[in-house]
Amino acid sequence: MVSLSMHPSPSILHRIQGTCYNTHMAIITQLFDLICFRCGECCRRYQVLLDRTGIALLSKHMGLSTEDFRRRYADPRWPGTNTCLVQQINGSCPFLRGEGREFLCTVHLNKPQPCRDWAASPAKLECQRGLQKLWKLTVDSSGHLQGMPEDISAFQGFLNTCAKEE
């Protein structure tokens, strides 16, 4: 995934994962490190860059020709011809749907490779933003969740639901 406001670089997909520590909170942090809690912040922050395979897969998924897919979803600012930068609509990837505390990828079965490579982590600013916005939780400098006990408990319950569905 790339952001036009930054220099597109695959390195953004390889940020350092958060570290877990041996406290009670580490259990939550460790789970959080492994499970995406579906806040959708990364799908708002970045635009997905598709290669030829990604374009073909998503076109087929949507029942469109690759030309029609490009006409509908390509960001015209992107200069690449073999690649396609998915244009955002209303501030997010056009394939993101949801409300409240849960936002899902509607093309999950054919999710682009950059999205598959992106993993949730307490070290990622996007995940931290989602935690703050949707759960009123923060991550301290040691990688521990901070917040009201009832908010942490609600979040943990939601993570358990996500884990069962994965």
Which stretches of the chain bind ligand SF4, using CB under 6 A?
36-43, 48, 93, 95-96, 105, 107, 111-112, 115, 120, 124, 126-127, 130
Distance between CA atoms of residues 79 and 91, nearest Å: 21
CB of 92 to ligand SF4, least distance (A): 7
Distances (CA, A) of 136 to 12, 67, 120, 121, 162: 26, 43, 17, 17, 19
The encoded tokens of residue 158 equal 């939601």
CB of 48 to ligand SF4, least distance (A): 5
Choose between 25 and 135: whose C-beta lies nearer to ligand SF4: 135
Choose between 37 and 78: whose C-beta lies nearer to ligand SF4: 37
Choose between 36 and 55: whose C-beta lies nearer to ligand SF4: 36
Maximal CA-CA distance, the chain: 53
* Rg of the chain in Å (alpha carbons): 17
In the chain, the N- to C-terminal Cα span, in Å, equals: 22
Choose between 93 and 137: whose C-beta lies nearer to ligand SF4: 93
Q: CA 104 from chain center: how many Å?
A: 9
Choose between 104 and 148: whose C-beta lies nearer to ligand SF4: 104
**Nearest CA-CA partner of 162 in 30, 37, 29:** 37
CB of 61 to ligand SF4, least distance (A): 10
CB of 75 to ligand SF4, least distance (A): 13
CB of 38 to ligand SF4, least distance (A): 5
The two beta strands, 49-50 and 84-85, are antiparallel
